[in-house]
Amino acid sequence: MGASVEFRAEGLPLPPGELDDDLARLDRLVAATGARTVRVLGDLVQGAVKAATEARVAEWRASLPAALELVPGNHDRHQATLPAAWGVTMLPALVHEGPFAFSHAPTAVPSAFVWAGHVHPTATLSGRADRLRFPAFVVVPGLGLLPAFSRFTGGATIRASPGLQRFLCVEGEVVALELTE
């Protein structure tokens, strides 16, 4: 959380509001689904947490009616501890739950379908003059890659291939993409 705050502090001219937008979107999803737990598959933070980010997330967290869990990612490992007011339960690098395993980086786990967050897949739709890029869920046998939640986060474009399914996040909907582009 707060990657844009971190980059702005380094002098990059980025528009404000990314954190508030992400938190509001997460609130809406928790309310719509009745989720009791939000499990983040890594990269909750980018670098050291700035005071403004710490305070804003603590304020938001106080009203979130769900547990918040973190499977640490490569960016989280650079943060010694997360602010206590965030109420984040730190989980191990690999979590097994029923037929699933949860990890930051894609990994093969025999007898479990793995959900991973590191890649931040996207898919591109092209027309004659336009190209649109969307966050995407990607599923292959034994593995599901989750799109980045923050709109500020980039991602890797995943092209169509046999045995691979892509589901695009488009205007609040999840849409299956056909094999061919």
Give pLDDT tens digits for 20-35: 999 999 999 999 999 9
What's the mean pLDDT when you consider all of the chain? 87
> For the segment 114-144, what is each residue's pLDDT rounded down to a tens digit?
999 999 999 988 888 888 899 999 999 999 9
The pLDDT score that the predictor gives to residue 128 is 82
Instruction: Classify the C-alpha dihedral 6-3-171-124 as positive or negative.
Output: positive
Look up the pTM and report it.
0.85
Dist CA 17 CA 32 (whole Å): 22
Let me know the angle formed at the C-alpha of 170 by 179 and 99, rounded to the nearest 5 degrees.
65
Instruction: Classify the C-alpha dihedral 27-32-33-34 as positive or negative.
Output: positive
Closest CA to 115 of 135, 136, 134, 94: 94
Q: Write down the number of H helices and E strands in the chain.
A: 3, 12
What residue ranges of the chain have pLDDT lower than 70?
Answer: 1-17, 76-80, 179-181
Indicate the domain borders of the chain.
Answer: 1-92, 119-181
Closest CA to 164 of 148, 142, 149: 142
Dist CA 49 CA 55 (whole Å): 10
- Whether residue 146 contacts residue 117, with contact meaning beta carbons closer than 8 Å, is answered with yes
